[in-house]
Structure 1
Amino acid sequence: MNIRNLISYLVLILFLGLVQIFFLKNLALFGVAFAFVHLLGILILPISMRPVTLIFIAFLLGLVLDLFYETIGMHAAAATFLAFARSLWLRAISPTGGYVETEEPSLSEMGFGWFLSYSLPLIFGYSMVFFTADQWGTGGLWTILNKSFFSSIFTCLLVILVQLLFFKRRRRI
């Protein structure tokens, strides 16, 4: 990946982080479904990106969100987990021929079914780590699972909607 592509991905991550901070901070459906649209920035980074770089970028994004949300490391821990699990999950769902190294795991590149099977478990893992840290010692397992499930569904729908509305589509023959 060249420096120009890296800068464009970092600008996208910064933009999604700002949208998360200024527009989605207080958005919660029925008190259980929270929006984590900033995860799209981590999810669509190129497949060829080294895991250490990915984890570092995710940690920084989580740390910036923690500063604005006043969550004391919960976003940083969950984003770091997401970046770590992303490499393992990509290997687990790898097609027979492998991935094209320059490909990004986005909706337009990989298709709806693949993107859903890629993003939903990762977003659920992020939500589980985040809400476990949030409810530690005060909430039960049911509260953690409930918030994680509905937040994952809501976030996945928003991530797909953002990609359909704002990302360029590949031309199909």
Structure 2
Amino acid sequence: MINRVVLTGRLTKDVELRYTQSGMAVASFTLAVDRQFKNGNGEREADFINAVIWRKPAENFANFFGKGSLVGIEGRLQTRSYDDQSGQRRYVTEVVVDSFTFLESRADRQVKQGANNNPGFDNQANNNSFGNNQQSPVNNDPFGIGQEVQVSDDDLPF
């Protein structure tokens, strides 16, 4: 049987990092994933998917991502049950994450950290090498090299 989940979305809140009694790290988070189509009002709705990640990757995930981070995850869907304090049986469906991917550049995360003052990211965003606290503008073009490239028709191979 195939049980594979691949999702891209934004964290709805900071990652909750805990440790089991045996000292194993486990991180829980919720990912907001936009639906493909717009609703009757022309707005995109989102699904809120619970996820969990274990061991060292859980610590890394909690250290690098915070509320609003754009992340890609891959894992498997799992359902578990437990009895709550009132004795009611509760069922939880969540993604058990095997791997994750950064979908924002470090500069984008730092700009967001500076705007949100989010401690979930490293503090290098507010301490640049010139000693002032102003953010430099960020070029969002991943192919931009800072200067225009001139190409003539004679340079093209076709």
Instruction: Decide: shared fold, TM above 0.5.
Output: no
Q: Comparing both structures, which one devotes a greater share of its residues to strand?
A: 2
TM-score, normalised by the number of residues in structure 1:
0.21
Larger radius of gyration: 2
Which of the pair has the greater relative contact order for Cα pairs under 8 Å at 6+ separation? 1
TM-score, normalised by the number of residues in structure 2:
0.22
Q: Comparing both structures, which one devotes a greater share of its residues to helix?
A: 1
